[in-house]
Amino acid sequence: MDLPKHRPTPTTSLRDASDSSTGSWDALEWTKIEPIARFVSPANLDFLLDDEQVVAEGHGVVLVNTDDAGVLIVTNFRLIFLSEGTRKVIALGTIPLATIEKFNKTAVKVQSNTHQSDKTPTQRLLQVIGKDMRIIVFGFRPRTKQRRAIYDALLKCTKPPVLWDLYAFTSGPSSFKNTSPMVRLLDEYFRLIGKASHRASMDMIESGSFTLSNDLWRISSVNSSYTMCQSYPFALVVPKSISDDEVLQACKFRARCRLPVISWCHPVTGAVLARSSQPLVGLMMNMRSNMDEKLVAALCSNRDGSRRKLYIADARPRKNALANGAMGGGSESSSNYFQSEIIFFGIDNIHAMRESFVRLREFMDTHGRTSSDGMSSFLRHGGSIWGGGNLSSMSASVSTLGDSGWLLHVQNVLAGAAWIAARVAMEKASVLVHCSDGWDRTSQLVSLANLLLDPYYRTFRGFQALVEKDWLAFGHPFSDRVGTPSISGSGNMSFELPRQQSSTSIIPSSPMRQPSGTFVSQPPVSSHAHNSNNYSPIFLQWADCVSQLLRMYPFAFEFSAAFLVDFLDCMLSSRFGNFFFNSEKERLQCNVFESCGCLWAYLADRRTSEGSSTHAHCNPFYDPLKYSGPLLPPAAALAPTIWPQFHLRWACPEEAQGGELEAQCRKIILKNSEMQKAKEVAERKAREYTIAMESLNAELRREKLLNISSMNTAKRITKENTDIKRAIRSIGCKIHISSSGDCIVDIENNPVEARPNLYCSSRQGSRQGSRQGSRQGSSSALINDKKDLSVSVTEDDDDDDDDGNNVIGRICESLCPFRTGDGGCRWPNGGCAQLGSQFVGLKANFDAFDQLSIDDSYFKPK
């Protein structure tokens, strides 16, 4: 829930007295408070949850704690206080109905200095005491009957006659559907015995095929119908050497048949952490059970057949254990259990915890900023406590916190759990933990020891598995201890919740601390549907212990203190059905899993929708590698302090901001995450640019190589053309080059008679290109080297073939590098015109010519 905003301490307010006032709220000028609109428009009810309905409204109501005036609304789920000016929900004055522990009406007759006391109006107050450390007081205008309407609505909605009228059932599972916790329990059992590869299902449960085992332990279905023990789960982990028949015999020796079963086993050493209830040894402490002793001895088994040491940790003081012997209970004798040692932790019972919690809540309300009597702690006792020089008063106020005993109880529970974890982790011993019934102090110690031993339980999923295993499945009576809905009666299930009122007295709370008028109060009405003598904040105390461990080891937990607070608020509100009733059997009977929403799904949805990594439930300092093993705090470190996020959030909202450092750290993490994403985007773009540049550079290098190759080719062609021209000129030819690149070669064969013309063209082209001469006495000669250079020479002559052969002969003698001195040919396969050509003109075998290298020595420059 949101924390209430702190209002500065008023110098003059609605509590100002008409004359000299002592500063208390007894001089409220109610007649000056004008009521606002007579009804709240449905259009302004956007703060209501799904299926939440308004039952009653009160207007012109004053929240005495903070001097806020507004509208008080009772719905089928909450008591809501709206501010008069802003119409916003005031968190301090808004509380779920199931979180209300008690409420009562109080009438105050204001004493006046005048003699007209009969005309002084009576102040009508409604005090609401919450299970979450707050005490709220509402003031109503006289003669309006609004307080009666609100009070009756609270009576009706806090204890409906029919179970299905509760908000958790009327709202249904909605979007927070609940999977079966029985399936999740089996999955946790599979993990503990090393069978995590198996996945549980309802079909497996219905068929009974979940009885897996390892070398030492097995999952038993002996309690699948809850006939052996109604407060135990349907599946139990027991030693493999113990049969189901022996389990049934051993359970008779333990209170409520809660026999020793395994809660956690070490995956390497095989040491176990077991739980049970007290043995029924009787008044003389001489009763024994062979089956119970055999079962306990099996907890000490080793894989090599040897026996490990066994510690039996009795959570009670020794005198309490002995006193239970008068009722048939008691404690074990070490002489009856082989290699065992009995340890008493001295943790007080549920009644001592309840009284301690009430005193702590009273201290917070008395000395907080927003006290329920409307007076600031700075002004109490004339302002002499804090800075007025009255050190004795200051010491008295501090000693009140110590007198509550709450922190001492928390320290005892932490010390016991740390001792158990050290025995299992360091000595490799097995530990059996029990108290009287095995569902209060035993659940505290075993679950805390599991949290210290196994880092999996320090994650979100592991914490859920731990609560569902050691608290819900093993039958912590949440209906009796917290006041969640219960099934009244025994044996037959009844869906009627009794409308009984509790006459249990409470410690006088503020408005009664400094009375300046006459008080007429009615007995407080408890919101519990059971005997209030069974109420005790056992689970809340365990959550306080977890917060102390989180403070000591901030890097070891995935979740934060804010998660613990929201988790407790959801549990106390009864908005979801996870913590209804006293046992797994009762929840199964009422089909809670399908009829109500799931608390775990709701919390997970909040983390997902609001950003899982930076959500307030996530611990920004979590480092799973730093604390991958057990946590073993020394005794000197077990010095608990007030849990500010929970204990101080209503009385001292500014001082309760213990999560501000975490919030700032989350902002830094979020900013760092955004910068990291921006960095990744920039790096990705830089890589793309680098690849593009490399591609361009490679293309540029290829173009450069092509350019160099082309230039070399051009130079070579130029050189060869020059050589060819020189060779042609050496045989008396004249070359005329046109603008198109063609050239005319004039050859003087017979200067007197004729001047044959040769047409010569030089081009870069196909190696097998040729020019075919005319059949009317024209002859062709083609010179083609391996460099794709084609030279065509054409002779236009009207003389006979003999003259043409003489000309060709002169050309061959001058140009052909294969001509021998005696007129022979070094290349007879060339098929040139001089050696048997079938055509008039020049013809060469280009394929053979291509396979040879022209003698470059012929083309040497002059």
Which residues are part of the catalytic machinery? 435
Residue pair 563/550 in contact by the 8 Å Cβ criterion: no
Euclidean distance between CA atoms 766 and 100, whole angstroms:
103
The tokens for 27 are 């001089």
Euclidean distance between CA atoms 4 and 66, whole angstroms:
10
Task: Render the burial of 351-364: b for 16+ CB within 10 Å, e for the rest.
Answer: eebbbbbbbbbbbb
Query: Which candidate, 761, 543, 562, 493, places its Cα nearest to that of 1?
Result: 562
Query: Which candidate, 605, 602, 594, 601, places its Cα nearest to that of 182?
Result: 594
How deeply is 309 buried, as exposed, middle or buried, from its count of CB atoms within 10 A (0-12, 13-18, 19+)? middle
Query: Which candidate, 716, 698, 839, places its Cα nearest to that of 777?
Result: 839
Q: Tally the residues of the chain.
A: 862
Euclidean distance between CA atoms 441 and 344, whole angstroms:
12
Give residues with Cβ within 8 angstroms of 170, minimum separation 6: 51, 76, 164
Euclidean distance between CA atoms 156 and 161, whole angstroms:
8
Give residues with Cβ within 8 angstroms of 386, minimum separation 6: 377, 378, 394
State the alpha helices, DSSP H only, in 610-659. 644-647
Euclidean distance between CA atoms 505 and 530, whole angstroms:
16
Euclidean distance between CA atoms 610 and 623, whole angstroms:
22
Euclidean distance between CA atoms 710 and 705, whole angstroms:
8
* Host H or E run for residue 848: helix 846-850
The tokens for 504 are 């249990």
DSSP 70-139: EEEEEESSEEEEEETTT-PBPSTT-EEGGGEEEEEEEEEEE--SSS-GGGSPEEEEEEEEETTS-EEEEE
Euclidean distance between CA atoms 370 and 665, whole angstroms:
29
CB atoms within 10 A of CB 288: 14
Query: Which candidate, 40, 27, 63, 54, places its Cα nearest to that of 140?
Result: 63
Euclidean distance between CA atoms 317 and 319, whole angstroms:
6
Distances (CA, A) of 267 to 166, 192, 297: 43, 7, 19
Residue pair 345/445 in contact by the 8 Å Cβ criterion: yes
Report the chain's C-alpha Rg in angstroms. Answer: 50
CB atoms within 10 A of CB 825: 15
Directed axis angle between helix 350-366 and helix 538-552, to 10°? 70
Euclidean distance between CA atoms 69 and 831, whole angstroms:
122
Give 422-429's long-range contacts (Cβ < 8 A, gap of 24+): 422/632, 423/311, 424/266, 424/271, 424/272, 424/273, 424/449, 424/453, 425/266, 425/453, 425/630, 425/632, 426/632, 427/309, 428/266, 428/269, 428/271, 428/308, 429/271, 429/308, 429/309, 429/310, 429/311
Please state the three-class secondary structure of 172-236 as a single string.
Answer: CCCCCCCCCHHHHHHHHHHHHCCCCCCCCCHHHHHHCCCCCECCCEEEECCCCCCCCCCCCCCCE
Residue pair 485/529 in contact by the 8 Å Cβ criterion: yes
